[in-house]
Structure 1
Amino acid sequence: MAVFTPIGEVGFKIGPVVLNMYTVPAFFMVILSIVCCFIVQLLFKEEYAGIIKEEDKKDDPNIVIPKFDVIPALICIYLWVVSCMVATNIEVISTPWSVVMYNWKDADAVLYNGIFQTASCLVSSGNSFLIGYTRIGQIEKRKQIIFGVTVFLLFHVFNYPWPFYSGPLDYIPEGKNPTEVGGCLPSYKWCETTVRVPFPIYLICFVFFFGVSFPFTGSPSATLYSQILGPRKQGMMQGIHSFGGSIAQFVAPILTTYLFQISGYKYVMVTQICTLGLALLLTVVFYKRLVPLKMPVPVKETTNDDGFHKI
């Protein structure tokens, strides 16, 4: 978003199509998605690795894939849903949130939050690299998940409107609009009793806490989910996993925006603290069951000198 800010709020038109700092990113992502579809179709070849096929079972009738444990699989799906929900919600409300908290006009809020999000993505990429190429990735997946969810919780705890923060928030002066000056809209009655999160806390949490928590929650939970399912074809179950995240990204911003408009960011934080708290609780309670599928040891029969079978 920050890259497209120079286009401005007014932008320009090409026929009936309006191109400005808000619409161009959407068009860009559509084009990028189409290009990615062609790349996947033309350059990638689908091959299954580590999957026990029907042919393998015919060759060795002793191979049996046991049923996977449903509860830990559902917990991993919930962890992914929560990760997608929190990430999308923060990205969605960051602009109106910073407009009311720091009196930034709309264009400045988009620019600054775009810069913060870019920095957060760099932190996230760095942590993903560490997970993939250093000993950090060898840490047990369950511990990584607990760490990631805890950092997610800290993000929301620090950004909760604690009474010792300064306040209340300021309203936009009469005769002005958000394109000229920031602040609360007249309809935001909750601003009269809402405090302002200190900017250094907001910045540190957005860049570092947000950048650290997602790779330590999303990546390990997805890997563990695949291990829980075991060496079977996982298309259906992986589809359910992805579907949960997609639904969260679709539904959560609508509910969050509504909550923000009627009550501010307090109950947005409360809602997400509760969902994250449940994720942490489930991970701790079912810690011993969040393990890869255990395959039975193949049984082989042999015959001794007396003609008896031994297993």
Structure 2
Amino acid sequence: MSQSSRSFDKTNEYERESLLNLNEQSRRPEDAIFENRKTDWKSMWIIAVMQFVCALQISVHSMSMWPYLLDIDKEATTSFLGWAGAMNCLGNTVSLPLFGLWNQKSMSVKWPGICGMLIAGFSQLLYSSAYLSPGSNGLVIVLVSRLLTGLGVGNMAVFRTYAATASLPKDRMKAISMQTASIITGFSVGPVISAAFTFLGSHGIRIGVLRFSMYNTAGFAMVILCIASCIALLIWFNESYVGILGKSVLESDNFVIPRYNVFALFVCGYSCTIATVLASGIAIMSSPLTQALYGWSHAELITYNGILNAISCLVSILTSVVLSMTLLQHLDKRVQILIGSVVFLVSQVLMWPWSFYPGPLRSNTTENGLDMCPVHYEWCEHTHQSPHLVYILYAVLFMGVAFALVENAAGSLLSEVIGPRKQGLIQGIFGSASSLAPFFSTLAVMNLFSEFGYGYVILLQATFTIVEIVLVILGWSQLVPVKLKVVEKSDSN
């Protein structure tokens, strides 16, 4: 009996030890350090506004650029439109790691942010003045201006890094969601701002040598906004890196930050990159696509696509709020990435020019009296028209739900995989990759669109999405936050 009692006591002791070990495992070593720290939400909101302004610089001309190019030079082609869109990505590719390195070395957000805004403001002034040199010279000015825009908004690497390193682990998802929501809102509101000036018409209003038309007035507005952003950063922004554990803190508490998992970094980076690739693809293709499919005029494509972007903006904000403010913020980030990827894939399947859709497009021209494919494409002879409702679902679900899900989860998980260390250079490098890929994909998208039709663009996008799903599934066990290791005093000396 006594032997049984001792056995029972040992069992209870073992269970108690197991429960203690379980509690210790659920509590990360760094949690004790972060207990007395707080996330500075004022600075987070300012950074979110800066991200919004940067996204505006990229997207404000996405719907109006095509008619603006034709206004400057009647011989402009959709291939040139692809180059104009790609220049922004090229500028980003160069500047993102440079801004990230600047932040890494100086631990400053304010001055890199101001520098980028000034460059972006100058680029918008250049873009809006391109009409003063009609013909090929004006097109070159547009190219240079978009390159400078990309160089300027490279400061987004600094803002992204700040969101990841100035927030506590428990606030990380909310902080990243705020930034993502701001970026998506900027991407969505940009075309709406451009659409707001359609009442000016293509000839616009002249004040001296300046012409304010529906194509370039939004650019002048962006100049003012960039200057205002510089003033806001200078006066109201204060930096607070509560999410970084310095060397002295780590040594005093006997902690070591282990190396990050390279494959996990790659998967997170690929997810963010593909989300950007798909978003930039639909943004640059939307104007010639809707003109070809539905015969929209220049004013209509700017207005209607702007409205769709506004609706998409509301959906994306709602998605980000739900992810950051409700119990869904605790949903596994890997699951969020998969859900977003599936939404991407479903929208692409719907948008495919199925044979049971109306068409072909060329027959619609004579049958319905609509000016389909006003720019001649050979693929119009056999390509069917995706219905208006399908395009609306594609545009709204694509940007509103899928992009928010993938970008929020992948961006947050990326910062957690890197760990509580300086992230400026790493974030800049990944941001650069996220810009280099759209540079090539934008050129590929517009060439595929011109030569073979939008169906092949959808096929390319679906392929990227399927690869993303496979990578997340394969790397499931590795896509977890890095955990600090506790070392003995003797080991650290």
TM-score by length of 1: 0.87
| Offset of residue 171 of structure 1 | 8.2
Residue in 1 aligned with 2:214? 21
Aligned pairs (5 A) from 1:67-86: 67-86=259-278
| Offset of residue 286 of structure 1 | 0.6
Q: 124, 135, 147: which is aligned to 2:316?
A: 124
Judged with a 3 Å threshold, the aligned counterparts in structure 2 of structure 1 residues 264 and 184 are, in CA distance, closer, same or farther, namely same
Q: Secondary structure at the match of 1:284?
A: helix
| Offset of residue 16 of structure 1 | 4.6
Q: Which amino acid aligns with 1:3?
A: A
1:265 and 2:454 aligned: yes
Task: Report if the CA contact (8 A) 2:365-2:371 is conserved.
Answer: no
1:47 and 2:236 aligned: no
Residue in 2 aligned with 1:149? 341
Deviation by residue 1:184-209 (Cα, 9 ceiling, x = unmatched): 13531110011000111111222234
C-alpha separation in 2, matches of 1:2 and 1:104: 14
C-alpha separation in 2, matches of 1:250 and 1:46: 33
Q: Which moved more, 1:110-119 or 1:183-192?
A: 183-192
Deviation by residue 1:231-275 (Cα, 9 ceiling, x = unmatched): 111111111122223334444333322221112201111111111
Q: Secondary structure at the match of 1:261?
A: helix
| Offset of residue 113 of structure 1 | 0.7
Judged with a 3 Å threshold, the aligned counterparts in structure 2 of structure 1 residues 16 and 72 are, in CA distance, closer, same or farther, namely farther
| Offset of residue 123 of structure 1 | 0.4
C-alpha separation in 1, matches of 2:414 and 2:285: 30
1:6 and 2:6 aligned: no
C-alpha separation in 2, matches of 1:43 and 1:216: 31
Task: Report if the CA contact (8 A) 2:256-2:486 is conserved.
Answer: no
Higher helix share: 2
Give structure 1 regions of 4+ aligned residues with deviation exceeding 6 angstroms: 171-174
Residue in 2 aligned with 1:308? none
Judged with a 3 Å threshold, the aligned counterparts in structure 2 of structure 1 residues 83 and 15 are, in CA distance, closer, same or farther, namely farther
Residue in 2 aligned with 1:204? 393
| Offset of residue 71 of structure 1 | 1.0
Residue in 1 aligned with 2:75? none
Percent identity of paired positions between Structure 1 and Structure 2: 35
Task: Report if the CA contact (8 A) 1:152-1:210 is conserved.
Answer: no
TM-score by length of 2: 0.56
C-alpha separation in 2, matches of 1:39 and 1:246: 27
Q: Which moved more, 1:73-82 or 1:225-234?
A: 73-82
Q: 77, 92, 97: which is aligned to 2:289?
A: 97
Task: Report if the CA contact (8 A) 1:145-1:216 is conserved.
Answer: yes
Q: Which moved more, 1:31-40 or 1:200-209?
A: 31-40
Q: For structure 1, which runs of at least 5 residues remain unmatched after alignment?
A: 175-180, 302-311
| Offset of residue 298 of structure 1 | 4.3
Q: Which amino acid aligns with 1:109?
A: L
Q: Which amino acid aligns with 2:240?
A: E
Q: Which moved more, 1:244-253 or 1:190-199?
A: 244-253
C-alpha separation in 2, matches of 1:265 and 1:141: 32
Deviation by residue 1:148-202 (Cα, 9 ceiling, x = unmatched): 111111111110111221111148989xxxxxx7421353111001100011111
Aligned pairs (5 A) from 1:174-213: 182-185=371-374, 187-213=376-402
C-alpha separation in 1, matches of 2:211 and 2:484: 57
Q: For structure 2, which runs of at least 5 residues remain unmatched after alignment?
A: 1-193
| Offset of residue 59 of structure 1 | 2.6
Q: Secondary structure at the match of 2:486?
A: coil
Residue in 2 aligned with 1:291? 480
Task: Report if the CA contact (8 A) 2:255-2:484 is conserved.
Answer: no
C-alpha separation in 1, matches of 2:211 and 2:268: 41
Judged with a 3 Å threshold, the aligned counterparts in structure 2 of structure 1 residues 100 and 2 are, in CA distance, closer, same or farther, namely same
| Offset of residue 223 of structure 1 | 0.3
Residue in 2 aligned with 1:304? none
Q: Secondary structure at the match of 1:117?
A: helix
Task: Report if the CA contact (8 A) 2:273-2:437 is conserved.
Answer: yes
C-alpha separation in 2, matches of 1:261 and 1:21: 26
Residue in 2 aligned with 1:138? 330
Q: Which amino acid aligns with 2:248?
A: E
| Offset of residue 2 of structure 1 | 2.1
